[in-house]
A and B are shown apart, each in its own frame.
Chain A
Amino acid sequence: MLDSKISRRGFIKASAATTVLVSAGTASFQNWSSKYVKASGKTEIKEIASTCNGCSSKCGIIGHIKNGRLWKLTGHPDHPSSKGKLCARGHGYATLVYSKERLTQPLKRVGEGKFEPISWDQAYKEIADKLNTIIKENGPGVVSLTEDPRATGKFYSPRFIQALGSPNYYTHHVVCSNSRDAGFFHTLGVTATSADIGSSKYIMFIGRSYGDAIRPSSVQSLADAKEKGAKIVIVDPRLNNTGNFANEWLAIRPGTDLALVLAMSHVLIKQNLYDTEFIKNYSIGFEEYAKELENYTPEWAEKLTGISADTITRIATDMGKAKPKALIEQSWRGAFGCNYENSTETGRAVALFNAMLGNIQQQGGSIIGAKSHLGALDPAKYPSPKKPELKKAGQEEFPLAYEEQGVATIVAKNAMEGKMKAAIFHHANPALGYGNPKYMKKAFSKMDLIVTIDVQMSETALLSHYILPDVTYIERDEAIESLSGKTPGIALRQQMVEKVHPETKPIHQIYSELAKACGFSQYFNFSLDELNEAMLAPTGITYQQLRQKGTIMFPDMTVELGKMPELKTPSKKVEFSSEKFKEAGFSPIVKWGEPKVSPKEDSFRLITGKQAIHSHSQTANTPILMQITKDYDLERIWMNPVRAKDLGIKDGDLVEVKSSEAVSKVRVKVTERIHPEAIFVPSHYGITSPYQKTAVGVGFGYMEHVPFDFEARSGAGNIQEVIVKVRKVKG
């Protein structure tokens, strides 16, 4: 080695041969580039099968790696969500790996918005000390962990919080599908069905848009159905991008989807178009529901929904005639995932409408998916933490919410009341996306410890005491993902390139090392590979085979269509009447309920939804995706021309949007593609973290206008129970 004459603090270290090599060498960029970069034919390109993280679909992808860098991405041909295709978000979000705006080292907050880098050892020690002190003083029920789960998190996160003695594990579903999930779970015994779109003859989407929340295979299935002559109806206050496939757009008054489904159910009974055999054999409580449905005539629904009674009757009749190859698509967030006070009931009514069509487990209908049978770690060798005896916070208040997911915003409410002292957030940004940001900030400021594990400086990270930098999905291996559906399978996320920032770590490593600092390393005494080997054991597939293929489906386990499975409801049947709802203090049968708030003549309801190039705010800081937003002014709110004219607003004008919670300024897109009573704002904008330079300041965050709230049944965020006034301003 050379001595340190080069620099007293010299970084570079040369070998004994260096001086000789350098004295004779040349290494011009041009020569090198021609030889190693441009001459692609001569350079080895490795293909690594993995999964995308551009949205929650986690499509299968193939990473093509050249010179150790990502070179190309393609859709995995075998994965049921991608089927060889990849959407714009999938291509765009991958840039994250080489982004200059990532978290690169553990940080400790030293003032508002101020952080200093610390070592991992210091971070682990201080976090563990604080967690242990908080638990010693208050018990484990004041500690929580929230995430938007991916395969590794699904296994490690609940295990970690349970090792702390706390049951408080939550997911993002409180602002995604808690209402739909609760409605479906207590009706069909599953939080969601899947839709056999490709074979269906009549498809209704309520708020759900395949053309915006793109899953490539779903779009392909819809195209196939369309080509085969299927009727496609969109029910949405805005004409979304699935409109290209649709035969009909029903511009429903927002918040009244339940009335539409109840009236359509009424028609099925009145015209004797429901599946009596299915109802007789596989359901309970139908008579009671049918009696209630007598109240919900199409004429009644017309006044609420704005959709003519004739249209309601025609569509319900046509769907009844097309049964069982007719369905209302189950949706995710759409119009009843977490949107209104009546959303859980809408979820129930949709599941029951599909049941009345007898389409459950039928070709072209709603499918209760099969799951892969995966193994588990040997408990003798790898002990699991004891299941906490405490009830999960929020379970008392919202017993109908799907327990595994919980009601994540209870963390903020309890923090506000001094009942939640510590929170860990992984791959989640609740400060911006789960509830009103002002409320969340105030609630978080009352906690003794907040730890955020993320790849970028989110609004939640900014409010945290400690920030731990995660690697991106391109740089990590994960636990095996079980794919449920008509045909079950498994998929593996794999590291494609060396991690760019050496101080970042994958989540399984962070949990294992933090567990050691907390004093319960015995629950994390296995490697990720050992976990995956254990999961694979019953499948007969080797780890090597899975690593090579990335996605493996199990066609011999395909759901047998026409055969109704035993449901996981208390009665093991479709429940038109639910004792669980009765026990929770609600009507056991679905009844019409108004949304919580309604606009007047001088105001609007604020509604939100996706655009095809973003996944909520997760992708907002991706320059090439945000550039599309800027090129096409996609951050604008949508307003109907009739209302715009009344307010003296023209396309492109700057307006002020005012609610009970906030005032925002944004430009307007005047379009007939929106219901006159609604203002549509895309859900991707309004980033406030100054560290996300591409996204900050573009558009506004609709959540700023949403009052902090819980839907009574599922605890969901009621994200469209918002009234705003709009006026033109100078600018």
Chain B
Amino acid sequence: MGTILDQKQSASRIFSILADLYKFPESDIWEDFSCHQLLDELRGYASEWYESNSLVEITDLPTGLKQMQQIYAESLGGPALPVESIYKEWTTDRTCNLPFARSKGYLLGDSALHIRFILEEFEIEIPENYRNMPDHLAILLELLAFFLLNAKAELIKQFLADHFDWLDEFALRLEELEGNQFYLQVTRFLQQMLNKLTSIYRY
């Protein structure tokens, strides 16, 4: 990598592209994806961190938009929702006496409220569809990409520690699903990138 600014921009692009891959695939994503532009760009930026041959491979590629949408619907669209809340204890509020307060598996947990707080504090808007799912991985990755360019290291470090510690469990959920492995491979790739970033921001 070149200057620190270049490094930040490259890292930001990695997580920005990955954010796109966790959104419901529409035709514009498919256009970039089908001509390999998206993955090539991703690997190009990532190769500044890792040797090409040590990057996690993404090989189980969808062959058409319909198939990609179907794969999404059968994994990220339901059985393995990429939403932080459902992989964490719903609330740390010990005064909350709802019977599921200490359980995992529910939307709009504390992590969602925290992201909502961050969005309000920093005057950032997200689409209405994600209003009550602000801790969706696509949003988290876009925020990370944005923070990499604009925030202090302390905030980035804290954000990484607070909101990406559930991906092992998410990946396990994807592993349990039969069929196409595309999103599992993308998630393994994401984890590799996050590991690198975390090591950079460790101190």
Contacts and interface: CB of A to CB of B under 8 A. Distances in A.
A450 to B, nearest CB: 21
Interface string B135-153: 0001100110111011110
Interface stretch (A90-98, A244-252, A480-488): A90-98
Contacts of B23: 9, 11
Interface string B17-29: 1011001000011
B81 A100 contact: yes
Contacts of B106: 95, 98-100
B151 A22 contact: yes
Contacts of A624: 99-100, 103
B100 A27 contact: no
A26 interface: yes
B37 to A, nearest CB: 11
A229 B118 CA distance: 62
A602 interface: no
Contacts of A28: 158, 162
B77 to A, nearest CB: 8
Contacts of A8: 20, 28, 32
Interface residues of B, number: 70
A71 B98 contact: yes
A502 B113 contact: no
B113 A69 contact: yes
Contact of B79 (A10, A11, A27, A693): A693
A73 B98 CA distance: 7
A101 B107 CA distance: 10
A646 B107 CA distance: 51
B107 A27 contact: no
Contacts, number: 175
A71 B93 contact: yes
A26 B92 contact: no
A99 B131 CA distance: 16
A561 B139 CA distance: 63
B51 interface: no
Given A14-B124, A23-B151, A6 B12 contact: yes
Interface in A640-693: 691, 693
A223 B25 CA distance: 59
Contacts of B158: 26-29
A38 B91 CA distance: 9
A380 interface: no
Most buried by B among A29, A37, A101: A29
A19 interface: yes
Given A29-B162, A91-B98, A7 B19 contact: yes
Given A27-B158, A32-B117, A71-B96, A21 B123 contact: yes
A11 B114 contact: no
B97 A72 contact: yes
Interface stretch (A160-168, A433-441, A459-467, A493-501): A493-501
Contacts of A26: 152, 154-155, 158
Most buried by A among B12, B96, B142: B96
Contact of B122 (A6, A18, A99): A18
B79 to A, nearest CB: 7
Nearest to A9: B20
A99 B100 CA distance: 11
Contacts of B162: 28-29
B201 interface: no
Given A12-B146, A22-B151, A23-B151, A623 B19 contact: no
Contacts of B163: 29
A502 B146 contact: no
B108 interface: yes
Interface string A400-441: 000000000000000000000000000000000000000000
Interface string B73-92: 10000110101001000111
Nearest to B152: A23
B124 to A, nearest CB: 5
B130 interface: yes
Contacts of A101: 78
Nearest to B148: A6
A40 interface: yes
A622 to B, nearest CB: 9
A540 interface: no
Interface string B98-126: 11100101111111011001110111111
A6 B162 CA distance: 21
A11 B139 contact: yes
B199 interface: no
Interface in A82-96: 91-92, 94-95
Contacts of A24: 152
A623 B100 CA distance: 9
Contacts of A10: 16, 19, 142
A18 B155 contact: no
B105 A66 contact: no
Nearest to A4: B16
Interface of A: 6-15, 17-19, 21-29, 32-33, 36-38, 40, 66-73, 91-92, 94-95, 98-101, 116-117, 498-503, 623-624, 691, 693
Given A623-B105, A624-B103, 6 more contacts: A12-B125, A15-B125, A29-B111, A71-B95, A99-B106, A500-B107
14 contacts: A8-B28, A11-B126, A12-B125, A22-B150, A24-B152, A28-B158, A28-B162, A29-B163, A37-B91, A71-B96, A72-B97, A98-B106, A100-B83, A100-B107
Closest A-B pairs by Cβ, 4 of them: A15-B123, A98-B106, A29-B162, A40-B95
Interface of B: 12, 16-17, 19-20, 23, 28-29, 32, 69, 73, 78-79, 81, 83, 86, 90-100, 103, 105-111, 113-114, 117-119, 121-133, 138-139, 142-143, 145-147, 149-152, 154-155, 158-159, 162-163
